[in-house]
């Protein structure tokens, strides 16, 4: 191992689902303490805490630290849409990489069970008694529902449909089949919020949210947390044989935002920043898409999963429909995608997601994934994207030690 390589020493996630009797600090503490135990280290070894939480009141890292260990280390509170967890991890990685700290802890936690529709707000929209231009568009009344939609299911529905307009081959049934795959995968994952297999008919016949996304084709709002301990190759060399064996190499850690493209301020462009992040990640890792044994990508909606096959270059440009129809992303296919069940069934407690998907990859690379183990997995990729936009891509490899 090279001394400047980065490793995940310990990693953990809570079960995703409803945790009515736990708050975000309980959930984060559970994940953080389990990650420290998993890595065979303690808060005393940590040089930095990067804490991700989106929906809370702020200052989450300090609240967490009060419960798990106040050692005086710097806390970075991170908020970066659905890429919050990945951003927390990347913050800890940068601190280790810079040489300022020997080890770092990244945590992401969210309480989202019962949150309902995201984007466009749960607030009622009401016109005032006087038409007065406000904001950057000089709008005299709320525009959500009048000039397109601000809802997440509707936004990502358009993302999938736009891909169909460009390359053809999409249909309601195709998108439903993607969801059928992820729900089928979830039956093997005891950490998933939902482990129910749905038939195609059940998925298509369920409540329509934003055509073509029905309810089971949308990410599941739930509670959960995930945490990871990172360190350098130099430090890892000094640790025990067992710690070295279970350490997972972070071959690439990349964060991007959306570069300007025509129409990107009309419909968010979730494609270019993902493709850019993937390109940099493959280059950093010296890995090509065909080397990947498994991928956890950001299937916030069934319509989103399709475009990311292409953006992550798992298929030739424009070939996402053919890639899916070939069976490639099923767990027994050429490039298994979302064997955890994905956000549609494992769930999407926003800030936890970007570390939990890395936990899933690590679990397989360590050969500890039980019934859903992808046999002899050596390399995996984890992807998240948050609107606004932010994209995190990490490539992980089994330790050679």
> What are the phi and psi torsion angles at 159 (to 5°)?
-60, -45
Q: How far is the CB of 204 from another protein (least distance, A)?
A: 12
**What is d(CA 352, CA 53) in angstroms, rounded to the nearest whole number?**
8
Q: How far is the CB of 351 from another protein (least distance, A)?
A: 23
Please, which of residues 254-293 interact with another protein by CB under 8 A?
Answer: 260, 262-267
Dihedral of CA atoms 161, 162, 166, 167 in degrees, nearest 10, equals -30
As to burial, measured by CB atoms within 10 angstroms (0-12 exposed, 13-18 middle, 19+ buried), residue 147 is exposed
3-state per-residue secondary structure call for 144-169: CCCCCCCCHHHHHHHHHHHHHHHHCC
- In the numeric block, the tokens 């940099």 are attached to 280
Cβ closer to another protein: 146 or 334?
146
Is residue 125 involved in binding another protein (CB under 8 A)?
A: yes
Q: How far is the CB of 266 from another protein (least distance, A)?
A: 5
Cβ closer to another protein: 60 or 163?
163
**What is d(CA 19, CA 10) in angstroms, rounded to the nearest whole number?**
23
**Strand (E) or helix (H) holding 10:** strand 6-13
Buried b (16+ CB within 10 A) or exposed e, 202-225: ebbebeebbebbbebbbbbbbbbb
Q: How far is the CB of 53 from another protein (least distance, A)?
A: 24
> What are the phi and psi torsion angles at 72 (to 5°)?
85, 5
Please, which of residues 329-388 interact with another protein by CB under 8 A?
Answer: none
Strand partners for 109: 225
142-344-162 Cα angle (round to 5): 55
Q: Which of 145, 156, 94 is nearest to 120 (CA)?
A: 145
| Residues touching another protein, count (CB under 8 A) | 56
**What is d(CA 189, CA 373) in angstroms, rounded to the nearest whole number?**
10
Cβ closer to another protein: 213 or 357?
213
Cβ atoms of residues 75 and 49 within 8 Å: yes
Q: How far is the CB of 389 from another protein (least distance, A)?
A: 13
Is residue 161 involved in binding another protein (CB under 8 A)?
A: yes
Q: Which of 115, 339, 107, 338 is nearest to 223 (CA)?
A: 115
**What is d(CA 33, CA 332) in angstroms, rounded to the nearest whole number?**
34
Cβ closer to another protein: 141 or 325?
141
Is residue 237 involved in binding another protein (CB under 8 A)?
A: no
Cβ atoms of residues 259 and 251 within 8 Å: no
Q: How far is the CB of 258 from another protein (least distance, A)?
A: 10
* DSSP strands (E only) in 213-302: 213-214, 224-232, 248-257, 294-296
**What is d(CA 358, CA 36) in angstroms, rounded to the nearest whole number?**
16
Is residue 55 involved in binding another protein (CB under 8 A)?
A: no
Is residue 98 involved in binding another protein (CB under 8 A)?
A: no
3-state secondary structure of 117: coil
Q: How far is the CB of 85 from another protein (least distance, A)?
A: 26
**Sole binder of another protein in the list 40, 47, 56, 120 (CB under 8 A):** 120
Is residue 158 involved in binding another protein (CB under 8 A)?
A: yes
Strand partners for 257: 390
Q: How far is the CB of 116 from another protein (least distance, A)?
A: 9
**Sole binder of another protein in the list 2, 20, 72, 126 (CB under 8 A):** 126
What track of x and - describes contact with another protein for positions 128 through 157 (by CB under 8 A)?
Answer: xxxx-x--xxxxxxxxxxxxxxxx-xxx-x
What track of x and - describes contact with another protein for positions 179 through 208 (by CB under 8 A)?
Answer: ----------------------------xx
**Sole binder of another protein in the list 2, 123, 241, 290 (CB under 8 A):** 123
Cβ closer to another protein: 102 or 215?
215
Q: How far is the CB of 182 from another protein (least distance, A)?
A: 20
Is residue 164 involved in binding another protein (CB under 8 A)?
A: yes
Q: How far is the CB of 320 from another protein (least distance, A)?
A: 15
Is residue 210 involved in binding another protein (CB under 8 A)?
A: yes
Is residue 172 involved in binding another protein (CB under 8 A)?
A: yes
Cβ closer to another protein: 240 or 265?
265
Binding footprint of another protein on the chain (CB under 8 A): 117, 120-131, 133, 136-151, 153-155, 157-159, 161-162, 164-166, 172, 207-213, 260, 262-267
């Amino acid at each position: 191992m090279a001394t400047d390589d980065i490793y995940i020493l310990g990693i953990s996630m809570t079960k995703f689902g409803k945790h009515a009797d736990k708050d975000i600090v309980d959930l984060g503490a559970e994940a953080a303490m389990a990650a420290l135990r998993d890595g065979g280290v303690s808060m005393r070894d940590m040089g930095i805490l990067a804490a991700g939480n989106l929906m809370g009141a702020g200052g989450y890292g300090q609240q967490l630290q009060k419960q798990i260990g106040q050692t005086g280390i710097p806390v970075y509170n991170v908020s970066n849409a659905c890429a919050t967890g990945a951003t927390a991890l990347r913050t800890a990685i940068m601190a280790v990489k810079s040489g300022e700290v020997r080890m770092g802890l990244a945590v992401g936690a969210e309480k989202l069970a019962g949150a309902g529709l995201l984007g466009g707000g749960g607030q009622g929209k009401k016109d005032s008694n006087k038409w007065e231009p406000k904001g950057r568009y000089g709008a005299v009344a709320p525009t959500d529902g009048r000039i397109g939609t601000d809802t997440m299911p509707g936004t990502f529905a358009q993302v999938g449909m736009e891909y169909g307009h460009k390359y053809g081959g999409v249909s309601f049934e195709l998108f439903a089949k993607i969801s059928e795959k992820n729900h089928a995968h979830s039956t093997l994952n005891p950490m998933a919020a939902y482990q129910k297999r749905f038939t195609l008919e059940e998925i298509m016949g369920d409540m329509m949210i934003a055509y073509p996304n029905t309810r089971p084709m949308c990410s599941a709002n739930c509670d959960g947390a995930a945490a990871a301990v990172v360190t350098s190759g130099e430090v890892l060399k000094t640790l025990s044989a067992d710690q070295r064996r279970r350490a997972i190499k972070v071959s690439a850690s990349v964060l991007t935002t959306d570069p300007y493209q025509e129409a990107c301020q009309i419909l968010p462009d979730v494609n270019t920043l993902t493709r850019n992040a993937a390109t940099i990640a493959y280059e950093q890792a010296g890995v090509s898409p065909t080397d990947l044994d498994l991928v956890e990508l950001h299937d916030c909606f069934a319509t989103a999963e399709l475009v990311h096959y292409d953006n992550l270059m798992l298929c030739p440009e424009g070939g996402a429909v053919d890639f899916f129809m070939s069976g490639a992303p099923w767990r027994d296919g050429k490039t298994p995608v979302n064997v955890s069940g994905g956000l549609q069934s494992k769930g999407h407690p926003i800030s936890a997601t970007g570390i939990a998907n890395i936990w899933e990859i690590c679990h397989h690379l360590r050969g500890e994934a039980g019934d859903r183990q992808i046999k002899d997995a050596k390399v995996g990729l984890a992807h998240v994207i948050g609107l606004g936009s932010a994209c995190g891509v990490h490539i992980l490899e089994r330790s050679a030690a």
